Every structure is written in C-alpha cells, then in structure tokens.
Amino acid sequence: MTSSIPNHLDIDFATFAVRCQKFRIAALVMKRTSIPLATEYATRLVHLIPGIRLDDMLAFFDFDPSESKILLQDVLSTGLVEERNGQLHLSQRGWKALSPDSDRLDLFEVEEINATVAFDLAALTPVEESSLNAREAKVIEELKLPNREKAAAAGAEAAEAFDLHFQEWRSTQARRRWLDEDARLTSIEDIQPVAATTAVFQIPVRWRPADEAGASPDFSELSNRGRPGSRGPLISAISEQMKSAVAPSDHQLAFEAADRIDGGIMRRGGVRSSLERQQWVSAAASTDGQVLKGAGAPGLRLVGSVASDRLRSALLDWTQATAEGSSTMRTPVFWLPPTVSLPIPMISPGYSDLISPRIPR
C-alpha cells in the first residue's frame, strides 16, 4: 500500500515586523437603500414610457383612489421621478440611479464615516496592526523598507491608498452596521496621521515532493490578499531580505551527532550524509513513513523547526508526558538545533540547508 504524501510540508516560518502608519480618516460613503416594490415598479414604468400621464400610470396598477394617492406620493418622494404638466419623467437623480446594463435601480444614500486605518510602509496596503512587547521586538526581524523616501511621504499617498483598497478594508469591518451593505466610497473629507505602528507577517517555508531543489517560501496567502498584485512590493522586500539568510554550516556535524545518538536510524532510512535529505523528508511527510519500524521503533521521522506543526506537536507531547511522570513509553524525540548567529528560525538536525531556498522576485 502506497503512503499518502501531502502536497506540501511546512519546514519553517520566516517572521518579519513591518513598519506601518496609522491614519484617522473622515470620508463620505454611499450605501444602497431599498424602496417598496410597487414604487420601484412605477419608477421603471416611467423610465420605459417617458412622459406617461398620471392617470395612465395609476390605471395601470388598478389601485383604488387612496392606494393610488399613496403610490404617487411615494414615487415623487424618492426624488427619482418628477412631474411636469401632468406627465411623469425621470429626474436627474433617477437617471443616475439606473444601471447601464439593466433597468435595475441602484439607490444609494450618503453617510459620513470616521475610521482609523493602518497601512504598511512597503506596499501601502491596509494591515492589522500588531502589539509587540520588548522581547518580541528583539526576536522578530524588522523588514527593510524597499523605498524609504516613498515611506516617508506616505501621508501624501494615504488618501489614494484608502480609495484604492476601500473594498478590502470594508470587508474586515463586518460588525459595522453600514458596512454590512453594499457601500461605495464617495470622497475623503479629511485624513490625519495618528501614530506609527507595526504589523507582523509570517511566511511559511515549505517543501513539496516535486521540488527537488529544497524548500522555498510560499507567498501565495500574502499575494492573494486584496487587489491582484497589491502586495508585490511587500513580497519583493521580504524575498530580498530572506536571501541574506545564509544556512548554518554545521549540517554534517549535526548529522554525525544525530547518528551517534540514534544508533544509525537516519542511515537506515537511506540517508548517508547531511546532503541526502530527499528520502528522509519524503518519508517524514507521509503518514506511514513518519513512524519508524523494526530496529528503529518506537520513534518518528521528523523534519523542520519547532515553528512547524508536526515537530512542535511531537516535542510538546513528549515534554508533557515527561513532566507528568507518565510511566507509559513515549515516542522519543531527537532534536538538535543548528548553531547559527543570524536571526533566522532554527532548523532540525541535518536539514538546516533547507532554508537556502529559491526565492521568487
């Protein structure tokens, strides 16, 4: 029976803190409104028969006198229809409310909003700000901005950025009453910088069975946010900075140390040196291949850093059982973080070269 191998395996995560600027924005937003069905139908009738007489329209609906009076009042009160010499015509607002593709009436009313929005200074796109404590600020690497001059002038471009990304920002504000409806940005009345802030972006480093060159960063989640291509400058900046992360040079030392500890389990798994990782990673990625059998049992094949779900779960499971003093035989875990001076995530034994990826521009 062939082991099922997932389409990717998370090896690590690269985390960056990105400088942002927060703005307070006052704007006018149009939101869709509705009118009674009879009123809308009567307005459409006026559009289809320009200059229709009052008596003819009321006769079309066959309402009694009191109902006809209410209908006429409703039609005229919308501002979409106007009366001239006993005839009905669409007003200027009525013509603007008509959809160019159909007879549908798109009715909107204007409402003022006051919002606080944060934009990253790499791509000037809306972000969720993050609160970092002093320890986190030291651990998480700060992204070098690709264009410092443009970042410094973010205030001048913030209004255009809010206009461009309004629908994306609106989708994150579902709890706001007016944003539950079809809203369109009409104008920005005022925009003021509030404070500098920070957003944290986490990029997964993934291995795929068909990728013989090793693991590579996966920017798909980031690139799919908002308007197509809007995160391009941010992705390029992260990609460029990740290229400076040099893999530690202790691959073979870690492999030899693990070999002495585990009694040759890695070699029995087909790995003869720290560079021959394909077979081990393929086995570690599959459900059946992850569990060691025969002389190596009990045990698990693992690959990646503690940031990856599989390795973190295995370590937590083992340490929790040890702390509780369980007498049950637990799955042993051998984990050797490499020696590295760069502020990049730690990699499991013998596979630290997996973070020397092919990074797309």
Structural domains in the chain, CATH included, are 9-29+110-244 (no CATH), 34-106 (1.10.10.10), 250-336 (no CATH)
* One-character DSSP codes across 158-193: HHHHHHHTHHHHHHT-TTSGGGGS-EEEEEEEEEEE
Q: What is the pLDDT of residues 132-182, one digit of tens each?
A: 787 877 888 999 998 888 888 888 899 999 999 999 998 888 655 555 567
Indicate the pTM of the whole model: 0.68
pLDDT at position 124 = 95
Identify the weakest region by mean pLDDT among 167-171, 205-209, 212-216, 226-230: 212-216
Q: What is the pLDDT of residues 287-316, one digit of tens each?
A: 777 777 777 677 777 777 777 777 778 778
**pLDDT mean over 205-218:** 79
SS3 assignment, position 50: coil
Confidence of residue 357 (pLDDT cuts 50, 70, 90): very low
The C-alpha atoms of residue 124 and residue 118 are separated, in whole angstroms, by 9
Within a 13 Å sphere around the CA of 102, how many CA atoms are in the beta-carbon half?
Answer: 3
Two structure tokens written together for 50: 């320009």
HEC per residue, 259-291: HHHHCCHHHHCCCCCCCCCHHHHHHHHCHHHHE
pLDDT(337) > 80: no
pLDDT at position 223 = 95
Q: What is the pLDDT of residues 92-135, one digit of tens each?
A: 877 877 665 565 666 667 788 999 999 999 999 999 988 778 78
| Percent of the chain whose predicted confidence (pLDDT) is above 70 | 79
CB atoms within 10 A of CB 31: 18
User: 242 with 202: CB under 8 angstroms?
Assistant: no
CA distances from 52 to 66, 76, 88, 277 (A): 20, 14, 5, 81
pLDDT at position 342 = 38
Q: What is the pLDDT of residues 249-264, one digit of tens each?
A: 777 787 787 777 777 7
- Of the candidates 308, 312, 249, 313, the one whose C-alpha atom is nearest the C-alpha of residue 275 is 249
Q: Counting Cβ atoms within 10 Å, is residue 115 exposed (0-12), middle (13-18) or buried (19+)?
A: middle
The C-alpha atoms of residue 117 and residue 129 are separated, in whole angstroms, by 9
pLDDT(352) > 90: no
The C-alpha atoms of residue 201 and residue 127 are separated, in whole angstroms, by 10
The C-alpha atoms of residue 143 and residue 149 are separated, in whole angstroms, by 15
Q: Which residue is it, tokens 């539950």? A: 180
The letter for the amino acid at 329 is M
